[in-house]
Structure 1
């Protein structure tokens, strides 16, 4: 009974070379690898697109990341924390004297979040042997444009990736045991994932066309079109002279109209009876601003960032509704951060522990503060925490308060004695105080 239960009969991918498969994309320019330059152009050229990307990524990068020992031995937890440059949960991490040549979690996190833009982000594990253990030197980012092939097993598992070879070299092949793969919305063996910008592509294209039309409308109709009207033909001229005179004047008028420019020295000289007018469009010009605003709303809606549309021109909406949108958006960020933490724990931390301590040793995990949970420390809040005993008024706390509020550093030579604090109330266990003498009432 054990054999059939441990062997897969079905499959997730028919062809082990995923790059030869159709990914179900109907739009030709969004089929891999043609979609990579498209998404790159979207984030670099459109203010709304880069705004929604930063709205998703910056809070995740801003939150505090830590190493949770998770039952691992202290030596293992400290080793992992030192390699990733992150503090252990419940303690602080001493910053290294030099950071060159060391792994940077913030830099890795920034590249890992590119999976939201392109659908995937692959990294190659690179270690450095110090004579005792293998230390994580870096997780080398492998940009999507450099990837030429993705090998996938029949069960949907990742086998390897290949990159385009450089001049005179063969295509580099990186096996899965050296890879860390962050994939957005992966389904089955689709290790290309799905870009967060895919639902916004249509709105982006139509918005781009609308902006071009609006720009052309301003250029062509902002000043008006110069129109030259020839003067009347004198009476009594021969027919040949009339035709020649009309042609010459019309040609001169055409050049005058085409060369007309506004400015402090602009002007024109025309024959008696001729006319030079600036003609505008009759009727109403097309209003491209409303469609453009609609497309911006749809781009933000694609990433659940509805609150980005509140407060703009000609927009309506309550602040309470904006808070609801922001809360729901924050929950979506928690999901993205959880995915990154899960992949990092499985394919970075556990690999690091396996290589140095063995596969039977418990491994720590990476954790992060809840996004949006940090509140600024005010003077009143700190005072209340100290008075209730939750905080101790020590030197580090004083240094924090001075730095936060822009106060000068503590100078022990000129420090003044603090005023005496009122005496503490009597202990409830002591005898009650004797009341003063009172006259006996008769």
Structure 2
């Protein structure tokens, strides 16, 4: 049996930039690159969208990220940990090196998570050589999705290069090959390296909600005080018919000016001829209730990312908190998946690239891992005592220092320390 080593099929229609575009998108304003402006507007203008994005990104940014040695040599692990500014899993915490002109993992993670907004978030690798001639990671320069002009994709769906729009006096567009790129893509399918925005399913509801909010504001503005209506007085009986008609026209014109000038205030008022009327006419019948559809659209926006629990607890919310905990569990699992995707891409294109540059492709490489999101438990005094009594924890100076810091106790003073005397048992008496 022949071992297949090449591909006959394909995952991309061509090796041109348009093969990276989702050709199934039917909404004109959501076709790349127009969709970038739409998603940017959504995340900046709508409170529900902002809440949803923060609910997704902040737990991932808050959890602890570490370097797992994964069988790599200590020298390799130490270089990766120092360059990324992360602690090594299973080892005592070491002081963080100075951060000036160095790579910052926290900032990189924040920008990498923008793939959820725009569908993709690319970075360019920048290194420096140290005294031993080792390649050290200096920065991963973020390349904003708005600046990308072309995406070269191979027939098998692999990324070849990215190009940016020219800037300033540059005659050619900057081109970055895959060998110096780190690209995070949300829900990539085949050769679509532009990905899919997390906000795509919420776009319809955001658009309808935005229109309804504008109509609601206009409704309140037009009908909150009422519309001033001027009814002219009866024309005088003297004079000819033409003179009376001319008087009536002038009266209506003057009344219209009064109605347009009506404003509320301490000194507001109007003077009208005898027999004329100035009223504030409201809407006959009930105004349409826009609150219900607006709440519905907010629920659908949250549902797009499994963040249904964000809709609980309001004045008009529905559903029990027990159901909210179930929603939160599903939501946490989705966050785990996003974090795993980021860890996988960072391990392959940051850690392994660093190892390859310094030690070759046959050198075992560590990997980036993270604490399970939502796995933290509050350290109570009872819990610490139980762990010490069962032997799971050892009472040492570092544990005491941590507990004093956690409970805002003053530092230990050996000169004034008192000998601990346990309380007598009931059998011993007082």
TM-score (normalised: structure 1): 0.92
- Asked if the contact 1:18/1:190 (under 8 Å) is kept, the reply is no
Aligned partners of 2:93 and 2:18: how far apart in 1? 43
Aligned partners of 1:21 and 1:73: how far apart in 2? 39
Compute the displacement of 1:420 (Å): 5.0
After TM superposition, the structure 1 = structure 2 runs for residues 172-251 of structure 1, keeping only pairs within 5 Å, are 172-251=174-253
Counterpart for residue 81 of structure 1 = 81
- Asked if the contact 1:228/1:277 (under 8 Å) is kept, the reply is yes
Aligned partners of 2:127 and 2:358: how far apart in 1? 11
Counterpart for residue 51 of structure 2 = 51
Compute the displacement of 1:419 (Å): 2.3
Aligned partners of 2:385 and 2:65: how far apart in 1? 28
Q: How many residues align?
A: 423
Aligned partners of 1:279 and 1:40: how far apart in 2? 42
| Structure 1 unmatched runs, 5+ | 424-442
Counterpart for residue 372 of structure 1 = 374
Rg larger in 1 or in 2? 1
Compute the displacement of 1:177 (Å): 0.8
State the 4+ residue runs in structure 1 displaced beyond 6 angstroms: none
Compute the displacement of 1:251 (Å): 1.4
Aligned partners of 1:422 and 1:349: how far apart in 2? 58
- Bigger drift between 238-247 and 195-204 goes to 238-247
Residues 163-208 of structure 1, C-alpha deviations (whole Å, 9 max, x = no match): 1111221211111111111111111111111110011111111010
Counterpart for residue 323 of structure 1 = 325
Counterpart for residue 433 of structure 1 = none
Aligned partners of 2:41 and 2:224: how far apart in 1? 30
Q: CA RMSD in A?
A: 1.7
After TM superposition, the structure 1 = structure 2 runs for residues 251-266 of structure 1, keeping only pairs within 5 Å, are 251-266=253-268
Aligned partners of 1:402 and 1:270: how far apart in 2? 78
- Asked if the contact 1:86/1:93 (under 8 Å) is kept, the reply is no
Residue 373 to residue 243, structure 1, CA distance change in 2 (3 Å): same
| Structure 2 unmatched runs, 5+ | 426-430
After TM superposition, the structure 1 = structure 2 runs for residues 97-246 of structure 1, keeping only pairs within 5 Å, are 97-132=97-132, 133-169=134-170, 170-246=172-248
TM-score (normalised: structure 2): 0.94
Residue 95 to residue 346, structure 1, CA distance change in 2 (3 Å): same
Residue 97 to residue 18, structure 1, CA distance change in 2 (3 Å): closer
Residues 124-172 of structure 1, C-alpha deviations (whole Å, 9 max, x = no match): 1111100321111111111101111010111111111111111221211
Aligned partners of 2:272 and 2:404: how far apart in 1? 76
Instruction: State the secondary structure of the residue aligned to 1:8.
Output: coil
Residues 105-127 of structure 1, C-alpha deviations (whole Å, 9 max, x = no match): 11111111111111111111111
Counterpart for residue 417 of structure 2 = 415
Counterpart for residue 66 of structure 2 = 66
Aligned partners of 2:270 and 2:47: how far apart in 1? 42
Compute the displacement of 1:216 (Å): 0.2
Residues 306-353 of structure 1, C-alpha deviations (whole Å, 9 max, x = no match): 111112232211111000000011001111111111111111111111
Compute the displacement of 1:271 (Å): 1.7
- Asked if the contact 2:12/2:19 (under 8 Å) is kept, the reply is no
Counterpart for residue 438 of structure 1 = none
Answering whether residue 11 of structure 2 is matched by residue 9 of structure 1, we say: no
Counterpart for residue 426 of structure 1 = none
Residue 93 to residue 393, structure 1, CA distance change in 2 (3 Å): closer
- Bigger drift between 243-252 and 11-20 goes to 11-20
